[in-house]
């Protein structure tokens, strides 16, 4: 006996879940919030996603696919590692000022990781590593290709970039004004350009 046909689209639901988790955070999001965002009943939610944790991982995967990979894609495509890294900082600064004080969903999840089953925790960690590995690769390339004496080695550049990204995220989530966030990103980008 076939069940009732699904009355919603999974992709649309996952997009809605991204918005809910991004606005509320994992801990403050309930099944009721997720259901309301999609307009589905509890049984339909559980039938499609199983639980809140699965919905969160699906939302994180979508976010990484659509937002993070876009930002990192520009970094990877830039043949000049110095310009790629400084461009990433400017781009993240602009992004942080354009999303209503929500910061970055991925950086926020890394800062305050929700309690997830081991498989999901590992997936979240690999999403974070996706970004950090690319930054580390560009930092290594910058040190290798630099035509001047570097003030920092690749590990220091990676650590600096990471701290700036988390700092920009914290500024956005704290409601710091747009000008200050952009100034912080620009200052960090200038530092990389002169490293």
Tens of pLDDT, residue by residue over 16-51, are 999 999 999 999 999 999 999 999 999 999 999 999
pLDDT at residue 83 in the model: 96
Task: Answer positive or negative: Cα dihedral of 126, 70, 67, 191.
Answer: positive
Is 158 in contact with 139 (CB distance < 8 Å)? yes
Give the chain's domains with CATH numbers. Answer: 56-194 (1.10.357.10)
Low-confidence ranges of the chain (pLDDT < 50): 1
Residues near 133 by beta carbon (within 8 Å), at least 6 away in sequence: none
pLDDT at residue 147 in the model: 83
For 117, the 3-state DSSP assignment is: coil
């Amino acid at each position: 006996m076939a069940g009732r046909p699904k009355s919603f689209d999974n992709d649309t639901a996952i997009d809605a879940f991204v918005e809910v988790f991004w606005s509320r955070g994992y801990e403050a999001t309930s099944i009721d919030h997720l259901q309301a965002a999609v307009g589905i009943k509890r049984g339909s939610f559980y039938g499609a996603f199983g639980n809140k944790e699965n919905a969160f991982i699906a939302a994180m995967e979508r976010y990484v696919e659509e937002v993070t990979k876009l930002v990192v894609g520009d970094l990877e495509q830039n043949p000049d590692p110095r310009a790629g890294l400084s461009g990433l900082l400017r781009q993240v600064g602009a992004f942080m000022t354009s999303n209503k004080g929500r910061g970055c969903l991925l950086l926020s999840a890394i800062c305050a990781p929700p309690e997830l089953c081991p498989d999901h925790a590992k997936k979240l960690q690999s999403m974070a590593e996706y970004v950090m590995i690319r930054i580390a690769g560009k930092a290594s390339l910058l040190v290798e290709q630099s035509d001047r004496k570097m003030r920092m080695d690749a590990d220091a550049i990676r650590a600096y970039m990471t701290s700036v990204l988390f700092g920009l995220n914290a500024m956005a989530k704290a409601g710091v004004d747009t000008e200050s966030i952009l100034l912080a990103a620009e200052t960090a980008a200038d530092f990389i350009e002169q490293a």
